[in-house]
Amino acid sequence: MIPEHKEFAEWFDNRLDDEFTKDILKASNWFLEFMGETTWRERKENVIRYFSQMSKNIFEDKKDIGFSSNQGRMAFYDDWIAWYLYLAESLELRPMVGEPSQSARIWPFFSTIGKHIALLKLTTGIEFKLQELLIKKGNLPDSILFEFVVAICYLRNGWEVAFIPETGAHKTPDLHVKKKDREFFVECKRLAKGTLYSDKERTEWLKRWENALPYLTGYSKSVFLDVIFKKEVMETSEFIIADAIKELTSCKSTVQGSCLENKEIKVCARHIDMFKIHNHLKKWMVKYPSQQLNYLLDENYEPDGSYTSAYQIELVEVAPDKESVVNLFVKNIKKAYCAKWECIAEESIDKKARDVKNLLVKAVNQAPEKGSTVVHIGYETLHGPFVEFIRDNKIVELISSFDFGSKNIASVFCHSFQPKVLPDNEWEFAETTRYFGINSKPEDILEDNLLMQREHSVISNETHWMQDALEKVQD
């Protein structure tokens, strides 16, 4: 056994001893117990059926080149909480099953809930919230998981917490908290993971990628593209990448790497080092799809980069059984074509840097006329630091000038989360809390205001997007 394999075997044997993992399983087991075995079996089967069909389509695809972006989304959109629970259950029962990008988003929430499960179980109204999360058909688990970790934050800070049931007559705040002679209502709002604009931009990119594929696959070597749109993607020709590929490959300038640039786009092409990839695959199989695979293809890998790939590839299901899906691994790659793309047009950055105005308006509208309310807003930072600088400026300007009317808003807390999957499929999670005092000092309400804080968390006075920007400058 080579040293790397021995190290992996030791980790594998002890993988469930980690406190973070134990807490994830505490939360998921609590959720599964509440859901009930029969209901869970039915909903899990839907997850398995979806991914089984995806795997079948991949293996039955007779094309020489498999286009990964056309093989379905690596998430079960029809039932998000069932998908989350399947991944959690797999940590213990199906260790070769996993989706690192999805897991990095949800494990901090599950682990925080599991760590403080005893307090949460005793919270007034928790059964109502479990019903909403696990039984009702709202399919919005991210919002409820956010409410859970906000509630835990108040519990950690010494507050008594009660979940407020919906009345049906009108919207109510989510929590009521008390400490000595002070009490607040708490309203929690969670921004959707992506934006409609981001989805539209990606769809437009895929059209251009598909039009370029025939020219890429007709080339004799594996090629990596760095693509930067200077105009909004949808404002460019659908053949703009194809035209660039034709020009770059016709003069064989991809051997050493070269670029084509104009006022709309910059495309740089280079050969992929397949020797390095084959050496890696002699030792290890690689999860498909995964950030680790992107890392092998891109010598300048960026964890927050947007990648699209097509392969001539040999795949294998690892530890297959009737309940194991999302367990495809790469055994060999004959050819690969990969692009890392981004749009730096001001209009694109501005539209992706969605602020929280709509959520703030809803939160204030739901705040009661009598009593003081604290607002918590959560969102994910998925588009890189420069988008987040713009978003942060928008949020500061919004809250500083917002008209709260007759509502007594004590403070507003904005919690931003960033999961990041690393090349070895390990991951990290960053959180930044911005707080704004309206009628009360935020520090007097929550002295510790990071929602996912654990014993070994590294705490900084800088936002995580500032840290990322500094890393890019240093690189």
From 321, 345, 369, give the residue that closes a domain: 345
From 345, 371, 394, give the residue that closes a domain: 345
Residues 49 and 85 in one domain: yes
From 121, 151, 168, give the residue that closes a domain: 121
Q: How many domains does the chain fold into?
A: 3
Task: Between 305 and 60, name the one with better pLDDT.
Answer: 305
Residues 341 and 386 in one domain: no
Residues 80 and 102 in one domain: yes
Residues 276 and 371 in one domain: no
User: Lowest-pLDDT range, 163-167, 213-217, 379-383?
Assistant: 163-167
Residues 388 and 453 in one domain: yes
Q: How far apart are CA 313 and CA 419, in angstroms?
A: 28
pLDDT at position 289: 86
Residues 140 and 50 in one domain: no
- What is the percent of the chain with per-residue pLDDT over 70, rounded to a whole number? 93
Report the chain's mean pLDDT, rounded to a whole number. 90
- For residue 20 the two structure tokens come to 């973070």
User: Lowest-pLDDT range, 254-263, 374-383, 414-423, 455-464?
Assistant: 254-263
Residues 175 and 261 in one domain: no
pLDDT interval class at 394 (50, 70, 90):
very high
Q: What is the pLDDT of residues 49-70, one digit of tens each?
A: 999 988 888 777 655 555 555 5
pLDDT at position 74: 82
Residues 107 and 138 in one domain: no
Residues 252 and 352 in one domain: no
Q: Range of 415's domain? A: 126-194+348-474
pLDDT at position 260: 92
How confident is the model over 206-230, as a mean pLDDT?
93
Please list the residues that pair with 432 across neighbouring strands.
416
Q: What are the DSSP calls for 426-472, one per residue?
A: -EEEEEEEEEEESSS-HHHH-SS--TT--TT----SS-HHHHHHHHH
Identity of the amino acid at 393? N
Residues 74 and 159 in one domain: no
pLDDT at position 169: 64
Q: What is the pLDDT of residues 185-207, one digit of tens each?
A: 999 999 987 778 999 999 999 99
User: Lowest-pLDDT range, 23-27, 93-97, 234-238, 400-404?
Assistant: 93-97
Residues 202 and 326 in one domain: yes
Phi–psi pair at 410, nearest 5 degrees: -75, -55
Residues 131 and 266 in one domain: no
